[in-house]
Amino acid sequence: MTVAAHPTTVPDVIEIPRELAASQEKYNGEAGRAFIAALPDRTAHFLDHWALTPDGPPMHGVSALVLPVRGRDGTPAVLKLQILDEESEGEPVALRFWNGDGAVRLLDHDEPTGTMLLERLDETRMLSHVPDAHRAVTTIAELLAHLTSFPAPPGLRSLGDIARAMLDRTPRALARIPDPEARRLIADCAAAVREVVDEPGDRLLHWDLHDENVLAADRAPWLAIDPKPLAGDPGFDLWPALANRYDPDDIRWRFDAMTDILALDRPRARAWTLGRLLQNALWDIEDGTPLDETQLEMTRRLKQPLT
């Protein structure tokens, strides 16, 4: 989460971070521009609707504006405004299901816009600030072990549907990879997914639990924020912590530690982690972006024999 710098000021309402406007333009085109244009009025509406008072500069990620606020009784909270899409529409469902147990607490929600009122955590105490990378990895694993112990509520996106769609897209994508070794690695990822696609799992997944999506709070040492929830196998949730503070020589230690903490079957967890690498590769190929060498090296390391 980034505190806005050099924002565009809308008097008496909100400062729209230029970086947020640029990312919405890049990733969502006309829909992103419409979202940014509507933000001042939408923010003013929800400040009034929920009787909120701004309480600090806005923060933002790639897709959402987060405004610190206080309620009528002075309780600190944050107002999260985001574009509504297939990823964000499941966030309030998952947060309501977790009910603050391992994750930020949802206080209120407007379904038509996806706007949420959330408890305020301490954005100055982020897991990414912990200097010990191994401690950060095990913290994420401990959170995931708890969060994925919940069965997924009805209506969430299914990992099975996502995996089958990835496999359908793979043959065309492979034909666009010029390097034979890279092509073989991506094909190996797809082969691993084929082995597990018929048993995609039914747990409530976060999907994006990296070390900037874990914040401290007074009521708990660490809590997860910003889920992009799925119903599926917890092995699909490991990738962000493997990639954080990338160290190729540490990949296998992290994988082994996380699968131990989550009590996962390692071959199955590896297959779903390779599925996550396939997902990222497909996005790159379809966007016309060169494959990320970091991701390819992660694939090489994960394909080595399991201990």
Tell me the catalytic residues: 208
Q: Cβ contacts of residue 232 below 8 Å, gap of 6+?
A: 152, 158, 159, 160, 162, 200, 201, 202, 203, 205, 272
Please say whether the beta carbons of 210 and 61 come within 8 A. no
Please say whether the beta carbons of 83 and 35 come within 8 A. yes
Decide: helix, strand or coil at residue 96: helix
CA distances from 301 to 210, 235, 262, 269 (A): 20, 16, 20, 14
Task: Dump the DSSP string for 21-45.
Answer: HHHHHHHHHHHHHHHHHHHHHHHHH
Please say whether the beta carbons of 84 and 93 come within 8 A. no
Q: Which two tokens stand for residue 192?
A: 């691993």
Residue 138 is classified by DSSP as H
Q: Which two tokens stand for residue 169?
A: 């897209």
